[in-house]
Chains A and B, each alone.
Chain A
């Protein structure tokens, strides 16, 4: 059942729920990853939940991404807006096609950045988000209302790509937008680690019980 599926607007994998009452996870890979990357992680984070994992449509030197950037840490914001809308449309299609509830986004790096953008541009699309090593998506954030939506932001205290100030600014933006934010800075770099997994797993269980 979780073979690559191309009958929706984005290449993706879908793994149906094997337990009831769990929000689906929308898995968003980092630069150079693909739709298979985060499936095992999704299974660990919320065992039994449906998993929806699209592949980013942009290619940068052969590496899939979810939106264009002009340089490391400098986003093409027009493209980001377009791609976030496309991702939102894909989520709606997939929900209808598979009969899914609103998903919780779990994004790493580039995937976390498009999840942030989507939360800000179309808050109704997602039930919440786990953002691992995310940075501020827009120089001027749009007005948005995330009243009561749970957001977990996991930053790396030694992350060479996302400065601490940038992560703190993103946290302030989510708080100002009304999200129920948990922001933790871990003693690690940009890479995804076991600590991220353990914290995200507990947070998901506590926030979506």
Chain B
């Protein structure tokens, strides 16, 4: 059976070495792939995830050394939320204090305990305590012990003018079902999917427009099992929602189509196949610069231009 939900989230960051330090050391994620933006090979494309880089755990960045800070606005991803085991919130609060990470007071949303924080570029992130997550494997080769480690995505929240048109795409095309509403937030959830199975829509009416830049999400990608399912989703978007997608683009680790959802957020549909082990062994993920075939001939040129990553954990 096909799994739905979030495949990955891609954001814009400032300096690459700072980005690597925060996500591998402070948050303890695995750098599962170091490659370049295929459309701008002078820019890193860094993928963080669980041990295998499984769909639903992957946060990726385009780090721009001189990026100006972005600004949240309507038509933008507001927050990217990770799952941690139920008893881990205390550990993380302590860790954020120790590491000087900006965080908000602990909050309750939809009955769950939430610790919202910011990355060094001001990107809005949060941890949600999820019962049962402690039984799932956590990446433990970093500084964070496995018992407290992040277990993939919980959700993303979208700041939109209204919930219904985007909700229709989530439910009709992307495998979600509409859930409860709390205040201005309506929850959409993929039945039976733990990892990355939630999108919260915060409907705020007219508000500032977003300004892309460091700390803002570039796009949210949703899962399709394979090319056929992706094509069927594109057809539904066209026929039921009058939304055209791009042609399919080969991203080496998945094959993608892109579209603007009705609330203006850039959505992607990405295939689960072939995954990150396609060009390096699972044990060696993220250790070497990987380039697609069409850029391999330019390797030395590209390596000469990419900023240093420092030493990932």
Q: Which residues of A contact B (CB under 8 A)?
A: 40, 44, 157-158, 186-189, 191, 193-198
Q: List 17 A-B contacts (CB under 8 A).
A: A44-B66, A158-B294, A187-B298, A187-B301, A187-B302, A188-B42, A189-B39, A191-B39, A193-B40, A193-B43, A194-B43, A194-B64, A194-B305, A196-B42, A197-B42, A197-B66, A198-B305
B15 interfacial by beta-carbon distance below 8 Å: no
The answer to whether residues A188 and B68 also contact, given A158-B294, A195-B305 and a CB cut-off of 8 A, is no
Q: What's the least CB distance linking A167 to chain B, in Å? A: 16
Q: In the complex, A51 Cα to B311 Cα: how many Å? A: 38
Tell whether, in the assembled complex, residue B66 and residue A188 are in contact, meaning their CB atoms are under 8 Å apart: no
B41 interfacial by beta-carbon distance below 8 Å: yes
Q: What's the least CB distance linking B165 to chain A, in Å? A: 25
B295 interfacial by beta-carbon distance below 8 Å: yes
> How many residues on B have C-beta within 8 angstroms of the other chain's C-beta atoms?
17
Chain B contact surface mostly: mixed
The answer to whether residues A195 and B41 also contact, given A187-B295, A187-B298 and a CB cut-off of 8 A, is yes
Residue from the set B41, B294, B295, B297 with the largest chain A CB neighbour count within 10 Å: B41
Extra contacts, 6 of them, besides A157-B298, A188-B40, A195-B40 (Cβ < 8 A), are A186-B42, A186-B301, A188-B42, A193-B40, A194-B305, A197-B42
List of A residues within 8 angstroms of B40 by Cβ? 188, 191, 193-195
Q: In the complex, A195 Cα to B43 Cα: how many Å? A: 8
Q: Which residue of A44, A158, A194 is within 8 Å of B42 (Cβ)?
A: A194
List of A residues within 8 angstroms of B64 by Cβ? 194
Q: Which residue of A44, A188, A197 is within 8 Å of B41 (Cβ)?
A: A188
Q: What's the least CB distance linking A73 to chain B, in Å? A: 21
List of B residues within 8 angstroms of A189 by Cβ? 39
Q: What's the least CB distance linking A17 to chain B, in Å? A: 19
Q: In the complex, A191 Cα to B39 Cα: how many Å? A: 8
List of A residues within 8 angstroms of B41 by Cβ? 186-188, 193, 195
List of B residues within 8 angstroms of A40 by Cβ? 68
List of A residues within 8 angstroms of B305 by Cβ? 194-195, 198
List of B residues within 8 angstroms of A188 by Cβ? 39-42
**Nearest-neighbor residue (CB-CB) of A187 within chain B:** B298
Residues facing A in B279-302 (CB within 8 A) are 294-295, 297-298, 301-302
Residue from the set A40, A189, A195, A196 with the largest chain B CB neighbour count within 10 Å: A195
**Nearest-neighbor residue (CB-CB) of A193 within chain B:** B40
List of B residues within 8 angstroms of A187 by Cβ? 41, 295, 297-298, 301-302
Residues facing A in B20-43 (CB within 8 A) are 37, 39-43
List of A residues within 8 angstroms of B42 by Cβ? 186, 188, 193-198
List of A residues within 8 angstroms of B295 by Cβ? 187
Q: What's the least CB distance linking A195 to chain B, in Å? A: 3
**Nearest-neighbor residue (CB-CB) of B63 within chain A:** A194
Q: In the complex, A187 Cα to B40 Cα: how many Å? A: 9
**Nearest-neighbor residue (CB-CB) of A44 within chain B:** B66
Q: In the complex, A158 Cα to B301 Cα: how many Å? A: 15
Q: What's the least CB distance linking B210 to chain A, in Å? A: 16
